[in-house]
Amino acid sequence: MKRLLVAAIVAALGVPMSAQQADNAKLAAQKADAVKGVDEMAKLAQEMVDSVFSFGELGMQEVETSRYLTAQLEKFGFKITRGQSGIPTAWVATYGSGKPVIALGSDIDGIPQSSQKPGVAYHDPIIEGAPGHGEGHNTGMPLNIIAAIAVKRIMERDKLPGTLMLWPGVAEELVASKAWFVRDGMFKDVDVNLFTHVGANLGTGWGQQGGTGLVSMEFTFEGETAHSAGAPWRGRSALDAVELMSVGWQYRREHLRLSQRSHSVITNGGDQPNVVPRNASIWFYFREIDQPHIKELQEIGIKMAEGAALMTNTKMSYRILGTAYPRHMNKVVAETMYENIKAVGLPTWSEQDQQLAKGLQKELGNPTQNGLAVKLGELGKPVALEDNNGGGSDDIGDISWNMPTITLSYPANIPGLPGHNWSSGIASATPIAHKGVVLSSTLGS
């Protein structure tokens, strides 16, 4: 997969529209060199994919992951700036100078409870209960790095002007970094942002995307402790407020638009049963398909929290923990990438790769076991709001509204998995992921 990204960067760096034919030949030769360069780094790609998999760190805790990835980039001559936007695990790596500025990003965080031995087609955690790469975010930055190294070599050789910039999607699962990167001007000189995300096929799309945007909010209630048996009438339970808000939301859900998705966890439910809980918190994701409706859900949430506080005579406060705008991708960049996708095609899967994929699909009880993707998907077209039935979010949306951006989805995972689950870790450090990453890197370059 890395090859794909290389092709895209070379094209973006490439020659101006005027000097057409000779330049087309030159561009084709550079693309071929990039592909060759990527293929020669297949071993490095495998090492990086497997190393990042082994860290399996949650959002905002990607300490070893970031240390490792930045060390790799420094080794290959990229300059690193650390602590972007005050986030300890965020960084920016650059090479070159001047225009165009081409940014390559991908997420790096893991999923709770998804520790899994790679290559084993049933639930078999490395460490029971530990986080892991239950989404496959271990493959994206290795892909970008291989692509960037291949392009950097060609830029040096051919004295091409331009800047390569690599950045990690920190805490994507918490949608807690990209909007802040934008706010702090991290992309102010960037001409195009090529984002990569693990998938089960090779693809990209333009225009309004399906799925949702969201706001992530934690509501905290404050009451007063008392002896739960001796003098419960002296206490005011913050946990009661959390439970009432939660129940209230479930009732309200029936009267919300079909496109919404909302879910919560109780992050603090009190201390012990014989002490009336003084503090309790509940954390919601409010998702909708456009910004006005996200805002509307947020306001309903705040009202409901105020109601729960009134009912329980507690005090309520809230904080915003994350935010993601719905996604809107660039047409020209997506169409250009799709041409490269068609030229590169899918990886050649071995019989063992297919066997692992089908075995897992069977283990999960999927009605069909078609194995790995063998046919390219179509170029994604805009999704009309009335046809959007909701779904996941990605804070790449915040970036996509600020500069030409696309997401290259690359096949480093098995189709038909539930997502955010141990099963997504199974292929993520096997030849399936390695092949997917190498092939897609050429697309970037």
Q: Provide the minimum distance between the beta carbon of 107 and Zn ion in the complex, in angstroms, as a whole number.
A: 5
C-alpha–C-alpha distance, residues 142 and 412, integer Å: 12
Q: Is the dihedral of CA 96, 97, 103, 106 positive or negative?
A: positive
Q: Provide the minimum distance between the beta carbon of 231 and Zn ion in the complex, in angstroms, as a whole number.
A: 49
* Contact by Cβ (8 Å): 380, 205: yes
CB-wise, 223 or 444, nearer to Zn ion?
A: 444
CB-wise, 195 or 318, nearer to Zn ion?
A: 195
Where does 350-415 show beta strands of DSSP type E? Answer: 405-411
Q: Provide the minimum distance between the beta carbon of 234 and Zn ion in the complex, in angstroms, as a whole number.
A: 48
CB-wise, 237 or 428, nearer to Zn ion?
A: 428
Q: Provide the minimum distance between the beta carbon of 309 and Zn ion in the complex, in angstroms, as a whole number.
A: 35
Q: Provide the minimum distance between the beta carbon of 394 and Zn ion in the complex, in angstroms, as a whole number.
A: 6
Q: Provide the minimum distance between the beta carbon of 245 and Zn ion in the complex, in angstroms, as a whole number.
A: 28
β-partners of residue 81 are 92
Torsion, Cα 363 364 369 375, to 10 degrees, reads: -130
CB-wise, 172 or 240, nearer to Zn ion?
A: 172
End-to-end CA distance of the chain: 11
Q: What is the DSSP string of 19-88?
A: THHHHHHHHHHHHHHHHHHHHHTHHHHHHHHHHHHHH-PPTT--HHHHHHHHHHHHHTT-EEEESGGG-T
76 exposure class (CB count in 10 Å sphere: 0-12, 13-18, 19+)? middle
Question: What per-residue string of b and e applies to 398-428 under the rule 16 or more CB within 10 Å gives b?
Answer: bbbebbbbbbbbbbbbbbbbeeebbbbbbbb
* Contact by Cβ (8 Å): 422, 123: yes
Interface with Zn ion (CB under 5 A): 107, 135
CB-wise, 57 or 107, nearer to Zn ion?
A: 107
Q: Provide the minimum distance between the beta carbon of 408 and Zn ion in the complex, in angstroms, as a whole number.
A: 13
CB-wise, 133 or 152, nearer to Zn ion?
A: 133
Q: Provide the minimum distance between the beta carbon of 136 and Zn ion in the complex, in angstroms, as a whole number.
A: 8
Q: Provide the minimum distance between the beta carbon of 110 and Zn ion in the complex, in angstroms, as a whole number.
A: 10
CB-wise, 33 or 173, nearer to Zn ion?
A: 173
Write out the two tokens for 279.
Answer: 């503090």
Residues in Cβ contact with 40 at an 8 Å cutoff, skipping those fewer than 6 apart? none
CB-wise, 135 or 240, nearer to Zn ion?
A: 135
CB-wise, 107 or 288, nearer to Zn ion?
A: 107
Write out the two tokens for 171.
Answer: 């805490």
Residue with tokens 């970037």: 444
